[in-house]
Chain A
């Protein structure tokens, strides 16, 4: 069974440029999460989807970040414009239904803003 797939694995962009990350969750998983992990820190939730509905986006910096999950499957996370402080690893995770079942993480996208 394929795991959570993220792309790209690495991205280097100049500040003020836009960037997008893509996530394909495990088939049948209703819940999808985007996390940001800074060096030496634990993952921090950006947004959580239940199917196509964003049920918690309270930690998403909405002035520059946006996300969508069309048809309740794949998801994209966008930053526009990127800032130096956005450099981090962006992790996508999915679970069958919330935290009553284990969550599986993708390999993440390492973003470097220069």
Chain B
């Protein structure tokens, strides 16, 4: 059974701290790994990773994928209270040569205190 496991499930830090969120996966027919930020209802897209070892950056956020060890990390530097959210990791799969499904982890709830 395909699965995506995120850790930690929750994390409390202070403003200015650096955090690392983890995502490991076991899926057949891996295609891509995506990170989303969910503040209220709608998850918003952060990154999509398809190749190992290539870091993607957006401001204070960065992410990298290791397809050999089957995991990804999401780093947030100099955290701000606005970074408080649930961070979702999802893996997109191939299926029968066409686009497959997106399997989500349970998420990491990040709380950044002033």
Interface positions of A (Cβ within 8 A of B) = 3-4, 31, 33, 35, 40-45, 48, 50, 55-56, 89, 91, 97-100, 102-108, 110
Contacts and interface: CB of A to CB of B under 8 A. Distances in A.
| Binding site secondary structure of chain A | strand
Contact of B32 (A41, A99, A107): A99
Contacts of A106: 42
B21 interface: no
In this complex, the interface size class of chain B, counting residues with CB under 8 Å from chain A, is: 20 to 34
Nearest to A31: B99
Interface in B61-90: 88, 90
B48 A102 contact: yes
| Binding site secondary structure of chain B | strand
Those 6 A-B pairs whose CB atoms lie nearest each other, nearest first: A98-B99, A99-B92, A42-B104, A108-B41, A105-B42, A102-B45
B51 to A, nearest CB: 14
Contacts of A4: 42
B102 interface: yes
Given A31-B99, A42-B107, 20 more contacts: A3-B42, A42-B4, A42-B88, A42-B105, A42-B106, A43-B43, A48-B101, A50-B98, A56-B95, A89-B41, A91-B41, A97-B99, A98-B100, A99-B92, A99-B99, A99-B102, A100-B31, A104-B45, A106-B42, A110-B41
